[in-house]
């Protein structure tokens, strides 16, 4: 089978960037800088969801399915800096040229990686290949690239299943549970900053990884629906994922498997 890379990111406020943009001194703590940004956002837009360029990437979790292997891992702070995290993600795209699979990746994850990648001077030539320049090495990318909303090198499941209508989109957690997968366990994106403040970086990483597996499992179900795989192949792939997670055996996967009927 072709290489498939399901991914998800978790972000926190870019406190350093907010300090520079608003000339905020050291007298304010990181928490106070973030809260000020939230308050300004609420006043201007009625919500506290920060603009994408002001969201710092704390975790990128990936599931790579290639050949007979399945691997789930994360690149995360504080072990790695944001620039290294983003560069390593795009290095993986460079190495495997996978189909990348996301849930709302076109509306959130990838634009964040674009902006933050620019901030850190990240290189991502394969990802940006449109088959129309001297720097591209594959004319196939003219007709199927990672950037076009309607191509499949990046499969944004939420966007596609909603037929590109935001009002028709649904939560991954609810759809995964309706299908019979575990869905989210104990955390969601709205709780990430609070968890980060409490020093729970490992919990954020574990949550992001389970989201990636939910995304991949829903994508397998979609492959069944569109006739790409047979019911027998679908059952075999789902069993393969379950067996792979069982072998890993860490507590968050044990919890995930326990919630999987």
Per the structure block, which two tokens stand in for 79?
């072990």
Angle between helices 251-258 and 201-225 (to 10 degrees): 40
pTM as predicted: 0.95
The pLDDT-based confidence of 135 (bands split at 50, 70, 90) is: low
The pLDDT mean for the chain works out to 95
pLDDT recorded at residue 132? 82
Q: Is the pLDDT of residue 38 over 70?
A: yes
**169-173 average pLDDT score:** 97
- % pLDDT > 70, the chain: 98
- % pLDDT > 90, the chain: 89
Q: Is the pLDDT of residue 136 over 60?
A: no
**115-125 average pLDDT score:** 97
Q: Residue 246 is part of a domain; what is its CATH number?
A: 3.30.420.10
The pLDDT-based confidence of 1 (bands split at 50, 70, 90) is: confident
pLDDT recorded at residue 190? 80
pLDDT recorded at residue 250? 95
| Residue 118, number of CB atoms within 10 A of its CB | 11
**147-170 average pLDDT score:** 96
DSSP secondary structure letters along 200-212: -HHHHHHHHHHHH
Q: Is the pLDDT of residue 236 over 60?
A: yes
Q: Are strands 154-156 and 69-76 parallel, antiparallel or unpaired?
A: unpaired
**62-82 average pLDDT score:** 96
DSSP secondary structure letters along 108-158: IIHHHHHHHHHHHT---TTTT--S-STT---GGGGTS-SS-TTSSSEEEHH
**48-53 average pLDDT score:** 96
* pLDDT tens-place string over residues 175-229: 999 999 999 987 887 889 999 999 999 999 999 999 999 999 999 999 999 999 9
Count of domains forming the chain: 1
**248-253 average pLDDT score:** 94
Q: Is the four-CA dihedral 207, 213, 215, 221 of positive or negative sign?
A: negative
Q: Is the pLDDT of residue 23 over 90?
A: yes
Distance CA(54)–CA(15), nearest Å, equals 8
Q: Are strands 55-66 and 69-76 parallel, antiparallel or unpaired?
A: antiparallel
The pLDDT-based confidence of 39 (bands split at 50, 70, 90) is: very high
> Which carries the bigger pLDDT value, residue 4 or residue 25?
4
Residue 79: which domain range? Answer: 4-258
């Amino acid at each position: 089978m072709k290489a498939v890379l399901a991914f998800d990111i978790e972000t926190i406020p870019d406190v350093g960037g907010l300090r520079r943009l608003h000339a905020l001194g050291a007298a304010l703590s990181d928490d106070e800088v973030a809260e000020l940004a939230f308050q300004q956002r609420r006043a201007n837009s009625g919500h506290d969801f920060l603009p994408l360029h002001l969201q710092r990437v704390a975790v990128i979790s990936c599931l790579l399915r290639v050949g007979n292997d399945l691997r789930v891992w994360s690149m995360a702070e504080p072990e790695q800096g944001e620039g290294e995290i983003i560069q390593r993600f795009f290095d993986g795209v460079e190495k495997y040229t996978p189909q990348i699979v996301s849930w709302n990746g076109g509306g959130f994850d990838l634009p964040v990686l674009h902006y933050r990648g620019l901030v850190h001077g990240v290189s991502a030539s394969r990802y940006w290949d449109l088959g129309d320049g001297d720097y591209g090495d594959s004319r196939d990318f003219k007709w199927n690239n990672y950037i076009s909303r309607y191509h499949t090198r990046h499969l944004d499941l939420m966007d596609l299943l909603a037929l590109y209508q935001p009002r028709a989109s649904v939560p991954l957690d609810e759809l995964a549970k309706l299908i019979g997968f575990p869905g989210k366990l104990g955390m969601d994106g709205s709780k990430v900053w609070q968890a980060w403040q409490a020093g729970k970086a490992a919990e954020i990483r574990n949550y992001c990884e389970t989201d990636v597996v939910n995304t991949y499992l829903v994508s397998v179900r979609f492959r069944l629906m569109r006739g790409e795989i047979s019911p027998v192949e679908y059952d075999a792939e789902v069993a393969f994922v379950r067996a792979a997670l069982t072998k890993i055996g860490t507590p968050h996967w044990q919890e995930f498997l326990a919630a999987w009927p």
